[in-house]
Amino acid sequence: MTKADLHKLVDELPDAAVEGAGVLLRGIIKGPIDPDQAWFWTPEWQATEREADADIAAGRGVFFGSDEEFIAHLKSVPPAESK
């Protein structure tokens, strides 16, 4: 993507998304957002982070005390059937 392409995208942003895009761009330019990690700060990714936080707070999910426990669990689960 070129800066010209980015300018076109900015021009097409819905009004409601301008502020969020500005926060992301300022974070990349001035820090603390590492440009290689900018995807993490997109509204879509942040929405899934909030979902994950809610699942954890509600006690949903499986937690493992070590990598070994996690690998052992993976090995114990039968493979999913292909559709």
- Residues 24-70 have pLDDT tens digits of 787 777 877 777 887 887 888 999 999 999 999 999 988 899 999 99
Domain spans of the chain? Answer: 3-76
Residues 58 and 23: their CA atoms lie apart, in Å, by 30
Residue 74 has pLDDT above 90, yes or no: yes
Range list of H helices, 13-57: 15-30, 43-57
Residues 52 and 59: their CA atoms lie apart, in Å, by 11
